Amino acid sequence: MGLRPNLLTRRAAGVASTTLALLLSTAAVGVVPAASAFSAAPGGACAEPAGSQANARVKPGAAATHDPNELTAKQVRERDADLAAALRERANFRAGAGATTLATVTIPVVVHVIQEDSTRAGGNIPDSMITSQISVLNQAYAGGTGGAATAFAFRLDKINRVTNPSWYPIVDGSSAERSMKSSLRVGGKNTLNIYLGELSDDLLGWATFPQRKLSSMDGVVVLNESLPGGTSTNYNQGDTGTHEIGHWLNLYHTFQGGCGGSGDGVSDTPAEASPAYQCPTGRDTCSATGLDPITNFMDYTYDSCMYQFTPGQASRMLTAWNAYRAA
Ligand SMILES: [Zn+2]
């Protein structure tokens, strides 16, 4: 696993039989545990995000080709300044209107199932996977899996099935993605639009951060087979949805900023130098106090490894909700 064989896996999949043969022979001697998603560290090619609003979760190795996810320090400063400004606006508004701060929030959810055709491989996943996903979200955000309870609950309002081959797979940052979202997005800033489909570049999902002005791009894109019971090995318990919605609620990755500075802007998530993959128990990449938060929903570990938000993250999400998404 120290050889980054996954990079070869990624490029080899379905491409050249000679490369594939090499891959299989490598696997035969035990270097590659599986041909799917199992790996050493990613290539480290942390490209500039394709768009400052984009934030993804990736399988191991996907970062080698494309990672729209990592924010630069400048982007973090801009987002933090924007949050402060939004909170000031809200405070002024509240002082005038006498509104109160929301303590609990039920988020209406609309799920758009993008399909190439009517087959499972073409994106036609059953409703049961979607209702299971909503249950996973409600468990996770209520602290039911072992983390902090957040203010948020999720209510499935609609499943919208759309067969359109030109939107499948969903390609991050593409004109087709813009077209899809501008055609399908419904509701106000408080409405969570989830788009399910096969995704570009081995991505598991991506999300927009909250903005003061509602954009038609607002929402969360999730790999259809990452839902509970899906075929995405090690990433099929629904935590990609949990992670991406964390971004939609203004959370950064636990490894944002590495070991220095303000990191992810949350004081109770120990600093982490880089994303953690699989489930590396005891990992400790920064000299500051605390082991790496590999069990946090905002890292990149396997679904079976991540089970919690922290109280600081719960607070950050509620603050952002009141600043950006509350009615
Ligand atoms: Zn992410």
Centre of ligand 1 from the C-alpha of residue 245, in Å: 9
pLDDT band (50, 70, 90) for residue 208: very high
Centre of ligand 1 from the C-alpha of residue 72, in Å: 14
- The pLDDT mean for the chain works out to 82
Pairing of strands 152-163, 220-223: unpaired
Evaluate whether 154 touches 107 at the Cβ level (below 8 Å). yes
Q: What is the mean pLDDT of residues 181-191?
A: 98
Q: Please say if the pLDDT value at position 259 is more than 50.
A: yes
Nearest Cα to Cα of residue 152 among 165, 138, 166, 164: 138
pLDDT band (50, 70, 90) for residue 239: very high
pLDDT in tens, 284-299: 999 999 999 999 999 9
Centre of ligand 1 from the C-alpha of residue 94, in Å: 32
Centre of ligand 1 from the C-alpha of residue 206, in Å: 7
pLDDT of residue 7: 28
**Percent of residues, the chain, with pLDDT higher than 90:** 67
Q: Residue 192 — left, alpha, or beta (φ > 0 → left; ψ -120 to 50 → alpha)?
A: beta
pLDDT: which is higher, 128 or 68: 128
Q: Please say if the pLDDT value at position 184 is more than 80.
A: yes
pLDDT band (50, 70, 90) for residue 8: very low
pLDDT of residue 279: 98
Spot the catalytic one: 70, 177, 225, 244.
244
pLDDT band (50, 70, 90) for residue 101: low
Environment of ion ligand 1 (residues, CB < 5 A): 55, 57
pLDDT in tens, 147-183: 999 999 999 999 999 999 999 999 999 999 999 999 9
pLDDT band (50, 70, 90) for residue 95: low
Count of CA atoms in the C-beta half-sphere (13 A) of 240: 33
**Percent of residues, the chain, with pLDDT higher than 70:** 76
pLDDT: which is higher, 275 or 45: 275
Evaluate whether 222 touches 207 at the Cβ level (below 8 Å). no
pLDDT band (50, 70, 90) for residue 15: very low
pLDDT band (50, 70, 90) for residue 80: confident
pTM: 0.81
- Cα–Cα separations (whole angstroms), residue 21 to 18, 27, 61, 73, 211: 5, 10, 19, 42, 48
Centre of ligand 1 from the C-alpha of residue 75, in Å: 15
Centre of ligand 1 from the C-alpha of residue 55, in Å: 5
Q: What is the mean pLDDT of residues 243-271?
A: 96
pLDDT of residue 57: 79
Centre of ligand 1 from the C-alpha of residue 215, in Å: 19
Centre of ligand 1 from the C-alpha of residue 29, in Å: 33
Q: Please say if the pLDDT value at position 14 is more than 60.
A: no
Centre of ligand 1 from the C-alpha of residue 243, in Å: 6
* Residue 198 designated active-site: no
pLDDT of residue 58: 80
pLDDT in tens, 29-62: 332 222 222 222 233 222 223 333 346 778 776 6
pLDDT of residue 93: 62
pLDDT band (50, 70, 90) for residue 309: very high
Centre of ligand 1 from the C-alpha of residue 252, in Å: 7
Sheet harboring 105-115: ordered strands across?
54-58, 203-208, 220-223, 192-197, 105-115, 152-163
